[in-house]
């Protein structure tokens, strides 16, 4: 490539992984919650991580480096604290919010305790405060804390975090770009929580909200910010005319107070489609587009891009781990360069790198061929810089040639394709998606077979993964604990878990999943077509990190994966043991997925593997089998016009996995932290015999969709919020179950936690489950009046 002088093209990053290459943030945060480190020590860890991340980006050649993308818990919650939007139940009296405010809103309190006391003393018996609701960030596996709005909500600048971090970066000589969640996205991601005004529209708060944004932007400009990034990913979704008008109104006001600073508005996770003209017309200085997930509209954006703005091209995938194809990316960038010129063109990842692991440098166990196909956050930064240099002729031919060799290696590799898998999938028949009988007939057979009482109790699957469990697994993986000794250890843990459930009266126990490291990774390790990292961690929420498998090839199950442990656990109890599996859609959604074939094809390959496991569990005498699909809604495309296609293949994937068993075998599924109203028909089409859902944080609000639809099958509305260390009192659970029984058929209701118990401690779990079983007993034996408790706050 000929060299030319186009040095004006800039590079920037929308955000960088905050967790640390070795999960330093998790370790420090959890140590603080346990009272093992001081607040000053926690803050020092955060400061050290921020500076290391900034220096990494500067060393890579990134021109504009994001600040305020770091968070001790969640960037949306940080925005709520910056705006002074703290729910009234936390009794915040104004002034400065801080990291303890963040933790209190995210985790709730026990007896009014501080976040540290909350973890150390979870059984005070005092009045407690439930945490704010948590849900998925668009169609990712990242969770944010949902902002709460009331008609009387007032906003006020209440945190110095963004200003402090700007000062930190400037002191290091960085060209720092503060990042904020944009005001329209913030309002649309929140929920009205005004019991006195249920029809309240949060957009009536826009003027007051924008006034505080004006104050923030004016202060950032005064403190030396050259560029300020406002994230509005909501522009990649369906917006009403009123919401489009709100976007225009907000940025007309913000553009008038920016002073010497310039505003970049970023959208990502898809194309902007019918919002294109409104987005292009925003009175700001630069616009960022996702040309990876919105590739189909790149030409339209480039052709219509206004002459008074900078075009930021998100060309390196920020959410997956495959190496960029320089040839394809340069074709797009060259079109943009011709249209807008070099001084109005920026090169960037498609979105924040929050969703990517930190670096391939910490993956010595990945084989060379597979590793050559991959790029994590640090490698993506290098790709951004490479593309800028290749575009202006300073990158040289060698880097381009190496990139294209890797792309060709992946396309032609024989390890990707399995003709036996392709042939089996092609031979699937319509009857493979159906049970023998409808739900009513199945329910009669299952009740006779299982013999469960009214309001049967169960849990969602996992039990606490203690330090001893984690240490034993680590020793086994290192070879310092033999297979025989590890098996004996796991059997002992399983036996204790089953005995505890029997002792307190759980009607349908589980084995505890002590042999599993992660609900997706475990299955991937037992399936062909998957690869695994050593340190490929990404943040799911707070201090909960996951290490997604990599699906690189056709998927098949070489041998049973869970039968051994379910069979062993069933031998320990007379009660019906529930087999535990992760569903095909969730395995797909929580993995880094191959991008060389439709996602539907990969999902149906996984579904056939899970189907084989379900059938084997039934043959082994397991009478109830749960196929978890917590990521089912997460997979929805951002545009409603695309939903029908997704829901068709996703529902079929679940049914393909579940419909190989007899009518008397009870199929459960589980979904958590999702809005169900929009997809309730599809959930019913899945035809699980029992569905358990998260409802405790939403105060049973999420149950409304099932009630309004008159959901026909059995349902377990969660009464124990496992994402908080609180021990919910029995009276609180009674309140929740009273609401459920008022609107659901009594004979169809289960009693269960919101989700698996893996992340909790036994000292929290035991009293919580004892309370839960007590509630089920009250429901069976008392009248409504006798068991009524005080109203929930």
Q: Is 410 helix (H, G, I), strand (E, B) or coil?
A: helix
Residues linked to residue 135 through DSSP beta bridges, in sequence order: 144
Q: Is the CB of residue 35 less than 8 Å from the CB of residue 120?
A: yes
Structure tokens at 405: 């060799």
CA distance 73 to 26: 10
- Calculate the dihedral angle through the C-alpha atoms of 293, 296, 300, 306, rounding to the nearest 10 degrees: 10
Backbone angles phi, psi at 684, to 5 degrees: -65, -35
Neighbours of 49 (CB within 10 A): 20
Catalytic residue status for 723: yes
Nearest residue to 700 via CA among 571, 595, 621, 791: 791
Residue 35 CA: distances (Å) to CA of 39, 121, 782:
9, 11, 42
Q: Is the CB of residue 190 less than 8 Å from the CB of residue 202?
A: yes
CA distance 775 to 68: 44
The residue from 143, 604, 668, 723 that is catalytic is 723
CA distance 716 to 229: 42
Nearest residue to 462 via CA among 493, 502, 503: 493
Nearest residue to 363 via CA among 536, 539, 525: 536
Q: Which long-range contacts (CB under 8 A, 24 or more apart) does 700-704 make?
A: 700/736, 700/739, 700/740, 702/674, 702/675, 702/676, 703/739, 703/740, 703/743, 703/744, 704/677
Kindly write down the DSSP assignment for every residue of 142-163, as one continuous string. -EEEPPEE-TT--------HHH
CA distance 263 to 286: 6
- Calculate the dihedral angle through the C-alpha atoms of 370, 373, 376, 379, rounding to the nearest 10 degrees: 130
Residue 634 per-residue DSSP state = G
Catalytically active residues are 723
């Amino acid at each position: 490539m000929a060299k030319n002088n186009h040095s004006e093209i800039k590079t920037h990053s929308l955000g960088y992984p905050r967790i640390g290459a070795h999960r330093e943030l998790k370790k420090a945060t959890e140590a603080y919650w346990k009272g093992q480190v001081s607040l000053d020590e926690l803050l020092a860890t955060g400061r050290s991580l921020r500076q290391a991340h900034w220096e990494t980006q500067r060393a890579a050649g990134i021109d504009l480096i994001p600040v305020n993308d770091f968070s001790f818990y969640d960037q949306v919650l940080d925005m709520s604290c910056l705006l002074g939007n703290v729910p009234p139940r936390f009794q915040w009296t104004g002034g400065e919010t801080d990291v303890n405010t963040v933790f209190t809103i995210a985790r709730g309190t026990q007896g009014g305790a501080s976040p540290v006391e909350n973890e150390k003393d979870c059984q005070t018996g005092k009045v407690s405060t439930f945490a704010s609701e948590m849900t998925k960030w668009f169609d990712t596996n990242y969770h944010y804390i949902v902002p709460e709005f009331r008609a009387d909500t007032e906003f006020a600048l209440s945190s110095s975090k963004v200003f402090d971090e700007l000062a930190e970066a400037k002191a290091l000589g960085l060209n720092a770009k503060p990042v904020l969640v944009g005001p329209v996205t913030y309002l649309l991601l929140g929920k009205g929580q005004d019991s006195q005004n249920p029809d309240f529209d949060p957009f009536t708060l826009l003027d007051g909200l924008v006034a505080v944004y004006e104050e923030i932007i004016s202060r950032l400009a005064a403190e030396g910010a050259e560029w300020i990034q406002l994230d509005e990913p909501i522009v990649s979704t369906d917006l009403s005319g009123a919401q489009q008008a709100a976007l225009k109104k907000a940025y007309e006001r913000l553009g008038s107070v920016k002073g010497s600073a310039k505003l970049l508005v970023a959208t990502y996770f898809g194309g902007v489609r019918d919002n294109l003209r409104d987005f292009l017309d925003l009175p700001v200085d630069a616009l960022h587009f996702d040309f990876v997930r919105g590739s189909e509209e790149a030409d339209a954006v480039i052709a219509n891009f206004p002459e008074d703005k900078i075009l930021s091209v998100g060309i390196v995938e920020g959410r997956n781990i495959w190496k960029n194809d320089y040839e394809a990316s340069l074709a797009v960038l060259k079109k943009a360069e011709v249209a807008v010129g070099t001084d109005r063109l920026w090169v960037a990842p498609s979105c924040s790198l929050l969703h990517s692991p930190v670096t391939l440098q910490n993956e010595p166990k990945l084989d060379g061929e597979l590793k050559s196909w991959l790029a994590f956050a640090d490698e993506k930064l290098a790709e951004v810089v490479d593309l800028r240099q290749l575009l202006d002729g300073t990158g040289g031919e060698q880097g381009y040639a190496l990139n294209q060799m890797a792309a060709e290696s992946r396309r032609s590799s024989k390890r990707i394709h399995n003709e036996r898998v392709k042939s089996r999938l092609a031979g699937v028949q319509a009857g493979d998606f159906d049970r023998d009988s409808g739900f009513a007939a199945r329910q009669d057979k299952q009740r006779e077979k299982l013999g469960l009482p009214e309001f049967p109790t169960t849990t969602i699957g996992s039990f606490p993964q203690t330090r001893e469990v984690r240490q034993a697994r680590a020793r086994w993986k290192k070879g310092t604990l033999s297979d025989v000794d590890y098996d004996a250890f796991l059997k002992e843990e399983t036996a204790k878990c089953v005995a505890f459930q029997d002792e307190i009266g759980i009607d349908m126990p589980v084995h505890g999943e002590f042999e599993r490291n992660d609900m997706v990774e475990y299955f991937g390790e037992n399936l062909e077509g998957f690869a695994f990292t050593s340190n490929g961690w990404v943040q799911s929420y707070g201090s909960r990190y996951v290490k997604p498998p990599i699906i690189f090839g056709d998927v098949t199950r070489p041998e049973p994966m869970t039968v051994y442990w379910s069979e062993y656990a069933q031998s320990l109890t007379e009660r019906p043991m529930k087999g535990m599996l992760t569903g095909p859609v969730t395995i797909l959604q929580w993995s880094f997925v191959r991008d060389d074939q439709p996602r539907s094809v990969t999902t149906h390959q996984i579904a056939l593997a899970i189907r084989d496991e379900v059938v084997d569990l039934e043959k082994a005498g397991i009478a109830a089998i749960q196929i978890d699909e917590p990521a089912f809604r997460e997979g929805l495309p951002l545009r409603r016009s695309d939903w029908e296609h997704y829901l068709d293949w996703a529902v079929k994937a679940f049914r393909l996995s579940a419909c190989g068993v007899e009518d008397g075998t009870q199929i459960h599924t589980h979904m958590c932290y999702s809005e169900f109203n929009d997809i309730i028909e599809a959930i019913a089409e899945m035809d699980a015999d029992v569905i358990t859902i998260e409802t405790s944080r939403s105060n049973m609000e999420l149950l409304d969709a099932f009630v309004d639809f008159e959901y026909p099958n059995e349902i377990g509305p969660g009464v124990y919020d496992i994402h908080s260390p609180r021990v919910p009192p029995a009276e609180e659970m009674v309140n929740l179950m009273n609401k459920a029984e008022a609107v659901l058929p009594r004979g169809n209701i289960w009693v269960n936690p919101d989700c698996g118990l893996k992340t909790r401690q036994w000292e929290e779990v035991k009293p919580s489950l004892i309370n839960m079983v007590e509630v089920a007993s009250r429901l069976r034996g008392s009248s409504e009046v006798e068991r009524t408790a005080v109203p929930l706050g």
